[in-house]
Structure 1
Amino acid sequence: METLIVSSVTVALAEIGDKTQLLSLFLATRFRNKWAIIAGILVATLLNHSASAWLGTWLADYLQSRIGQGLIAISFIALGCWLLVPDKDDSEESSLQKYGAFVAATVLFFLAEIGDKTQVATVLLGAQFDSIVWVTLGTTLGMLAANVPVVFAGDYLMRRLPLNGARWTAAAVFIGVGVYELCTHVLLPGS
């Protein structure tokens, strides 16, 4: 249960103001069928994050040493610092639009997630918790929690959400997890 909750909360926070959230807003302005957009986001996230969680659990087998645990901790801290850098809206007209909301959302969201902060977070969460299923479910719930409101009320929400505050909170969570892991598994193991 801890894995599900931590994965959901950290990814939901990391997603606020992220390029995929901006993509959700873009899709919502282009298509009327909001449920098809959400279904596309769900499918893309399940595919992308299950592969990412698998990679994290696979890497965890090789990162059990103090050095490996240190690398995971430092990666959490680095990701927290990366979250402080705001994303830009690089969405533009796509030839996928002619295939409808579901196909456009699935393909564009999947591609936008490759190398994204939330994908990196999913790999790290997979390595930390060693659970493909719970990490994937948690990160997918976090993505939906951050993106579904944007699809339905995007313009209204984007003008009112404190994006900087959310980014700083997410960064603090990731840095805090990294520092905790560094202290408990690397600097002071067994204490």
Structure 2
Amino acid sequence: MESLFVPTLVVALAEIGDKTQLLALLLAARFRAPWPIIMGILASTLANHFAAGAVGNWVSRFFSEATLSWVLAASFVAVALWTLIPDTLDEDDTSSLKKSYGPFLTTLIAFFLAEMGDKTQVATVMLAVQYPHFLLVVIGTTLGMLIANVPVVLAGNFAAERLPLALIRRLAAAAFGILALVAIGHALQLSATP
């Protein structure tokens, strides 16, 4: 169950204040149709994180467990630092959103593209390397995305303006830092055994 719960918590924290959360807020304001937007977030996240999880699962086969632990530790430290930097939504990111596509299709495409190379996608790759049940990791990271984004879609500006984003970013960075420490401990343990 750790393969489900840790990814859910880590991604839910990391997503607060992220570019895709800002995108969810923009889509909610533009379309005023929460359920198609939520379904678009769900579908795009499942597709994106399934691909990321598959990459992580595939990559894990080519390296020793000790090497993977060191790479994971370094990656988690990098994502922890990245998490501390507030995201913004560029005008270019939103200019291609057209109301004529409708809320579901617009959300599906926009979220899928916004997640490419985003910290939650990178985290999904790393978590799929770390945990043996990659499907549970994908379900967990998708749940984390929904936990962070559904309230924003449903509540709009009200919730987003009142969240302590700096504190939440620090908590997310701390969660990635803890994962880095666990990976370092595992790497040291593997290096110590003959």
TM range (shorter): over 0.9
Ranges in structure 2 where 5+ consecutive residues have no aligned partner: none
Per the alignment, residue 188 of structure 1 pairs with 189
Native 8 Å contact 1:53 1:131 kept in 2: no
1:18-38: per-residue Cα shift (whole Å, max 9, x none)?
Answer: 000000000001002110000
Per the alignment, residue 32 of structure 1 pairs with 32
Alpha-carbon distance in structure 2 between the residues aligned to 1:70 and 1:114: 24
1:53-81: per-residue Cα shift (whole Å, max 9, x none)?
Answer: 11111111123342232011111111111
Per the alignment, residue 63 of structure 1 pairs with 63
Structure 2 counterpart of 1:121, which letter? A
Alpha-carbon distance in structure 1 between the residues aligned to 2:179 and 2:63: 17
Alpha-carbon distance in structure 1 between the residues aligned to 2:25 and 2:71: 35
Native 8 Å contact 2:3 2:132 kept in 1: no
What TM-score, normalized by structure 1, do the two folds share? 0.95
Structure 1 counterpart of 2:178, which letter? G
Ranges in structure 1 where 5+ consecutive residues have no aligned partner: none
Native 8 Å contact 2:54 2:134 kept in 1: yes
More off after superposition, 139-148 vs 93-102 = 93-102
Structure 2 counterpart of 1:125, which letter? L
Residue 87 of structure 2: SS of its match in structure 1? coil
Structure 2 counterpart of 1:98, which letter? S
Per the alignment, residue 136 of structure 1 pairs with 138
Residue 95 of structure 2: SS of its match in structure 1? coil
More off after superposition, 120-129 vs 57-66 = 57-66
Per the alignment, residue 161 of structure 1 pairs with 163
Per the alignment, residue 122 of structure 2 pairs with 120
Instruction: Output the aligned Cα RMSD.
Output: 1.3
The Cα shift of 1:95 comes to 4.7
Native 8 Å contact 2:3 2:134 kept in 1: no
- Relative to structure 1, is the Cα distance of residues 6 and 65 closer, same or farther in structure 2, using a 3 angstrom cutoff? closer
Paired residues for 1:74-85 under 5 Å: 74-85=74-85
Paired-residue identity, %: 48
Structure 2 counterpart of 1:164, which letter? A
Native 8 Å contact 2:97 2:110 kept in 1: no
Structure 2 counterpart of 1:162, which letter? P
